Amino acid sequence: MKLASLDSIQNAHEDSLWTAAWVRSTGDKPALLLTGGLDETVRIWDPTKFTCLQTNTGHCLGVVSVTAHPNRRIAASASIDSFIRVFEVDTNNTIATLEAPPSEVWQLQFSPDGGTLAAAGGGSSSVKLWDTTQWQLIATLSIPRQGGTQPSEKSGNKKFVLSVAWNPDGRLLACGSVDGTISVFDVARAKFLHFLEGHSMPVRSLVFSPSHHDSRILFSASDDGHVHVYDAEGKTLLTSLSGHASWVLSVDVSPDGAAIATGSSDKTVRLWDLKMRAATQTLTHHTDQVWSVAFGPPSRTDVRSCMLASVSDDKSISFYQYS
């Protein structure tokens, strides 16, 4: 497996890029890349021509997360202005605006079936779930205090929630906190299951294996410089990967489940072979910290091949071919 550099777009935004997510291809509609950043915009990119198709405004502070619905038609963006904006990908029409208290909306992710939008709840020590038909808040999954069963209180040990991920069948939801813990929930029962421990610093990024027979496998990226691989149901740390010289800000898994990519404040992107449990490639295209890495959907001609995008404080997007 390897990453081959395709192109880099310099000054892709007017300021730091913080987040990236792919819109999958359907029928005659090609895959697209969404990016968001400090300049308060969401931009939509054609990854074949490396051109910007659309610049979406609507937030009044930096955009910390973007995510696309599985049906490709809609996407959502979250900003430190405390709003989530849901919009049509092709027209930029606003479908819904969801409001949360200050510092209570961070990473977003749609459930695999598209029926629910999850938002890492920051200072609320919870994950908020919205249904995607009426855009109503349907559940708040609160993290209990460790050693107790009651959800965190204002005066309790605050677990500021930065990251969120669904497993492939939508049964489990994991969220990562500033204190280094990961909380796992049974979504159907809205029930807290357990903590995953091992990180000593904030967990900024989480992703489950895309394979249904590995749907318990969770990858986490932390400021402690490590990437952990957990059995999220069995509550087991399977392996720890190290090699970055600083914080690991983002992790994503390839569609074939054989590799992960990471982005770091050491300005590099790394590709890791999961069988070897080692980094096989270090890419140095960026000149500042890499906030997000995202694998695109598999190629129509080769399911083991896809694109990878990385975005950085250096205002650039880099594209690579994974094969």
pLDDT of the residue at 153: 43
pLDDT in tens, 243-262: 999 999 999 999 999 999 99
Please check the confidence at residue 122 and state whether its pLDDT lies above 60: yes
Task: Write the CA distances from 45 to 31, 178, 186, 210, 322, integer angstroms.
Answer: 9, 31, 35, 24, 19
Reading the block at residue 175, the tokens are 């969220």
pLDDT-derived band at 28, boundaries 50, 70, 90: confident
Cα–Cα distance measured from residue 162 to residue 239, given in angstroms and rounded to the nearest whole number: 22
Mean per-residue pLDDT for 43-52? 96
**Confidence class of residue 301 from pLDDT cuts 50, 70 and 90?**
confident
User: What confidence tens digit (pLDDT) does each residue in 204-256 have?
Assistant: 999 999 988 889 999 999 999 999 999 999 999 999 999 999 999 999 999 99
Domains of the chain and CATH, by start: 1-142+159-320 (2.130.10.10)
Average pLDDT in the chain: 93
Rg (CA), the chain: 18
Name the pLDDT band for 150 (thresholds 50, 70, 90).
Answer: low
Asked if 113 and 97 touch (Cβ cutoff 8 Å), the reply is no
Please check the confidence at residue 151 and state whether its pLDDT lies above 80.
Answer: no
- Name the percent of the chain lying above pLDDT 90: 86
**What is the model's pLDDT at position 104?**
85
Mean pLDDT for 168-174 is 96
User: Hey, which of 99-113, 157-171, 243-257 has the most confident mean pLDDT?
Assistant: 243-257
- The pLDDT score that the predictor gives to residue 148 is 57
Residue 183 tokens, joined: 């909380």
Cα 285 from Cα 317, distance rounded (Å): 9
CA-based nearest residue to 132, from 104, 110, 165: 110
- 221 vs 202: CA distance, rounded Å: 9
**Which pTM does this prediction carry?**
0.95
Give tens-digit pLDDT for 72-98: 999 999 999 999 999 999 999 999 999
- Specify the higher pLDDT residue, 26 or 143: 143
Does residue 165 have a pLDDT over 70? yes
